[in-house]
Chain A
Amino acid sequence: MHPIDRRQMLKSAAVAAPLLLAGRAFAAPAAAGNRLLLVFLRGAYDAINIVAPTSSDFYHQSRPNIGLGKPDPANPDAPIPLDADWSLHPALKDSILPLWRARQVAFIPFAGTDDMSRSHFETQDSIELGQPIGGHRDYGSGFMGRLAAALGHDAPIAFTQQLPLCFRGGPVVPNIALSNASGKPPLDPQETGLITAMYKGQRIGGVDLEKAVTEGFAVRETVFKSIQDEMTQASRGAVTPKGFELSARRIGHLMRDQFNLAFVDVGGWDTHVNQGGAQGYLANRIGELGRALAGFADEIGPEAWRSTTVVVISEFGRTFRENGNRGTDHGHGSVYWVLGGNVQGGRVAGPQVRLAPDMLNQARDLPVLTDYRALIGGIVARQFALSPNRLQTVFPAVPAANLGLV
C-alpha cells in the first residue's frame, strides 16, 4: 500500500470507525472531507490597491501617483466595482472577478494582527505562531501544527522549501517546494529501493527514519506523477503556466487527492519604491496571484472545490498614503481573502469604518478590526467542526469571529 494512504487510513480509522464498518473507507479519496489552504503573501502586500476603497475621496487624494482611478466601464485600466465602496484591481478581471461573481470570494478589509512592530519577520512570526502577543514565544509551536494536532485525521503538507514556523509542533508534516520541482525523478526506482533497504528498521532518537524515508519517496513520487500529468497536458498544446501559477496548479492537483491541510507562501510584496498603479510591478504580481488562485480552483476540480477554503493573508498592510518614492511603507491593517466553493462570497465582509484622516491607525494606516486568529478560527471551526475548546488549543485567548463565510 502507498505509505501516505496507509497513514491516512490509520489516522482516519479512529474517527471514521462506522465508515470502516460499512466498508466505505477505501472508496473515499485520501483527503476526503474539507480542505484548507493558507496562502501567505510575505512582504506585506499593498492591500488597498488591490481591493481599493474607491468611493473614498481621501483614498484618491492620498495616492495621487499610484492610486487606482474611479470605476469606469469604458477604461480597461479602471478598477472594477465590487460594491458601492470597494473596487477590484483590473489585473484580477479575468481570474478573480469570475469567482467573485460566482460568490466564491469574500474580501475582509481591516484585517490583521495586534502586533504593532511593523517588522516583517516579527509579524510573520506572530501570525505563524498564533500565540498571544507579549507573552513568551514558543518557536516550537505554530498554529497550523496545533490545528493538525487538534484535527487528528488530517493530511498536512507545506509547499515550501523548509518546514514553516506555522507547521511546527504538530504531527510529522512533509514539505516540498513545487516551483522548481522537475518532472524528472532524481532517483530511479532501483536507487530508491536500495536506499529504502538501507533504512529498514533505522531509528535515531525518537525518530523513525525508515518511515521518514519511505514517506519522503512517496511524497516525491506523488508530486512527480502530478507533474507528469501536467506535462502530458502541456504536450497537447496547453500553455505551461509559470511562477506561482505553476505551483498553485500543482497544489490544486495534489490537494484534490492527497492533502487537506496545506500552507504555501509567496514573496515579493514589499513595495517601497515604484510599485505602480493599474499597471506596473504590483499589478504584475497581483495578476500572477489571481491566475494562480483561479488555476488552483480549476485544477482541484469542481467537486473538491466545493469543500475547499483558501485563505490569503499577509503580515501587515501598508501606509494609506503613498510615500515619496511612489511606493508605500510598512503599515498595519490589510485586506484578507477567503475563497472556495463553499464560501458565502461575493461580498466585502467583516466590520468596516469610513476612511478619513482621523480614522487611520496612528495617522498612517488601516486599523485592524478583524484579527487573523478570529477570522481563521471562525473558518476552521465551521469547516472542520472544531469545538470551542479544541479551537482554543489552536488560537489561545482569541474567540472565533463568525463572519458567516463558510
Chain B
Amino acid sequence: MLVPLILGGTVASANGSDVARPEIDQEQIAAANRASWGINMASLDASHPDEEPSAAEADRMLPAAAAEQMAAMRITREPLTQLAIEMNAQQKAANALTDPTQKQAARQAWQQAMNDLAHESATRSILRDLYSPAQLREQMTWFWFNHFNVHASKRDIRAMVGDYEDHIRSHALGRFRDLLETTLRHPAMLRYLDNDQNAVGHINENYAREIMELHSMGVGSGYTQKDVQELARILTGVGVSLNPDPPRLKPVLQPLLIREGLFEFNPNRHDFGPKQFLGHAIEGSGFHEVEQALDLIAASPATAHHVSSQIAIYFMGDNPPPPLVDRMATAWRSSDGDISTVLRTLFQSHEYRASLGQTFKDPVHYVISAVRYAYDGRVILNADPMINWLNRMGEGLYNHETPDGYPMSASAWTGPGQMETRFEIARTIGNGAAGLFRPRGPGTADRPAFPQLQNALYYDGLAQTLSPATRTVLDQANSPQQWNMLFLASPDFMRR
C-alpha cells in the first residue's frame, strides 16, 4: 500500500450521520486523487499496481447497474471477428444497390450501425473509469490507448476500437513487450497506420515509422531512416483479412501463414530478403522476423527511457524530474519492461509525492472525476452527456486523428476558450443530472439525481485542502447549484 488507509470503512458508515468523524489524511486524498480517476466516497485508497484486480476480475466487481449496461451491448455479445465481417457485408450490400435512394438509405443505416459500435465502446470505457475498482488499470488503459492511438473514423475502425481497448487493458500493467505485440496484431492498428497495405514491392512505411517514433524509442533516439525502411520490409505481409478462406499459397509457404481472428500474416505479401535492423542481421523467415524486431525495440534503452518519460508526464505533468525518469528507466531494464515495476518506482519516489496536487487534469480526467465525485457510486444510465463534454473540450474518446495521441502537457488544455468551456460544463454538472440518468432511446423515463458535492468526504477532509481564495468564494455561493459550479470550476478541482 502506498499510503496507509487511515479510515477504511469509517467514511462510508459516517455518510450523513452524526458520528464524530476523524479527518481524512490530506496526503491520502492527494494520492488517491492522482492514482484514480478522481476521489469519491467509494474509493479513498490509492490504487497500487500490486493490488489491482485483473481486467476480467475488475469487470466482475462492477456495480450491477453498470454491468447490465455493458452486458446488453453488441460489442459484448458479438466477438470482433463476427462484428467486422457482418459490418463489412452490410456495407457491401448497400453499395451493391442500384437504386440511388435505396442505396443512400442503406449506406446511412450502415453508418449508423458503425457509429453505434464506437458509441458502445465509449460508453463502456466511461463506465469502467467511473466504477471500476481497478482504477489504476483503467487509467493506464487510457494512457496506453492514447500512446498507441488509433482514430475511430478511419475505414472500419469504429467496429474495432472496443476490442482494441480491451486488448490494451489486459496488458496495461504487464510487460511492455506483450503490449507492443498486442497492438501490432490488432486489426485496428494495422488499418489505422496502413500496414494492411504494406507488401513486398508496395512498401508503406507509415506504421514502421510510428512504432519507432511514437510507440517505443522516440524520435531522435538513434534509429535511422534505413531502420524505418528495414522495419517496413520486416512488416510486409502483416495485415488484416475479413475473408473466411485463407489465401492460396505455394505448399512451401503454407506453414508460414498465420491467421488469428482478423489478423493475418500472409507470406505471399512478405519480403523474405535479408534485413539489417538496429545493427542486427535479420534473415528472411516470415513473422518470426517481426518477433525479433519487437524484441530489439522493446529491449532498447531508448524505449525504456522514452516510455518511462511518457508515463511520468502523464502522472506528474510537464517536465518530470530527469533523475526520476532515469530511475524508472533503470527499473524498466532490470524488470524486462514490467510496467507495474516502473509504476511502483514512480509512485514510491519523493518527487512523485512532492508533485501531488500539482498536475492539471486533462478534459477526460476533469469530466470523469467530476461525475465520480458528484454522484459517487450512483451509476449513470447514459454516458452521452459525458461523451459530448469530452468532444466539446477537444478530447473525445477515439477521436484523435493523428497517431501521436492527445497531448498530455497542461498547456494543451489551458487555452482561454478551453477554460471557459470547462466552466460551462462545471455549471451544467452543478445544476443537476444533465441527462446522465435519462436512459437512451424513446419512451424512457428520466430519473434525475441532484449531485451531492457537499458530502461527508468534503467535510471530513477535502474542505481543508482547498485554498483560502476558493473557500472564500464558495462561501459566497447563493444557491447549492452555484456552490457546485464554483467547486467544480475551482483551480483546486482542476488539479490532481
Contact = CB atoms under 8 A, between A and B. Distances in A.
A360 B429 CA distance: 56
Given A200-B469, A205-B411, A219-B420, A195 B489 contact: yes
Contacts of B404: 139
Interface string B309-327: 0000000011100000000
A174 B416 CA distance: 5
B491 A199 contact: yes
B416 A209 contact: no
A187 B394 contact: no
Contact of B414 (A173, A186, A209): A209
Contacts of B472: 197
Contact of B420 (A125, A204, A206, A217): A217
Contact of A273 (B103, B418, B491): B103
A200 B424 CA distance: 19
Contacts of A190: 478
A205 B318 contact: yes
A173 B415 contact: yes
A187 B427 contact: yes
B414 A273 contact: no
A212 B414 contact: yes
Given A195-B489, A204-B358, A212 B415 contact: yes
A218 B318 CA distance: 27
Interface residues of A, number: 42
Contacts of B419: 209, 212-213, 216
Contacts of B75: none
Interface in A34-80: none
A205 B417 contact: no
Nearest to B95: A325
Given A204-B358, A206-B411, A121 B486 contact: no
A202 B424 CA distance: 20
Interface in B440-496: 467, 469-470, 472-473, 476-478, 482, 485-486, 489-491, 494-495
Contact of B485 (A175, A191, A200): A191
Given A125-B402, A205-B411, A216 B417 contact: yes
B104 interface: yes
A190 B482 CA distance: 11
A194 B414 CA distance: 19
Contacts of B103: 273, 325
Contacts of B470: 198
A308 B409 CA distance: 35
A73 B189 CA distance: 54
A216 B420 CA distance: 5
Interface string B73-110: 00000000000000000000000000010011001000
A218 B391 CA distance: 23
B360 interface: yes
Interface residues of B, number: 49
Contacts of B423: 186-187, 195, 216
B410 interface: yes
A252 B401 CA distance: 29
B154 interface: yes
A202 B491 contact: yes
Contacts of A136: 213, 219
Contacts of B137: none
A161 B392 contact: yes
Interface in B195-238: 213, 219
B415 A204 contact: no
A175 B100 contact: no
A220 interface: yes
A274 interface: yes
Given A204-B317, A274-B104, 15 more contacts: A136-B219, A162-B394, A163-B418, A174-B416, A187-B427, A191-B427, A195-B473, A197-B469, A198-B473, A198-B489, A204-B414, A205-B318, A219-B416, A219-B420, A326-B100
List of 10 A-B pairs having minimum Cβ-Cβ separation, nearest first? A162-B394, A216-B420, A216-B416, A215-B416, A175-B417, A174-B416, A216-B419, A186-B424, A205-B318, A204-B360
Interface of A: 121, 125, 136, 139-140, 161-163, 165, 172-176, 186-187, 190-191, 194-195, 197-200, 202, 204-207, 209, 212-213, 215-220, 273-274, 325-326
Interface of B: 100, 103-104, 107, 151, 154, 213, 219, 317-319, 358, 360, 391-392, 394, 401-402, 404, 407, 409-411, 414-420, 423-424, 427, 467, 469-470, 472-473, 476-478, 482, 485-486, 489-491, 494-495
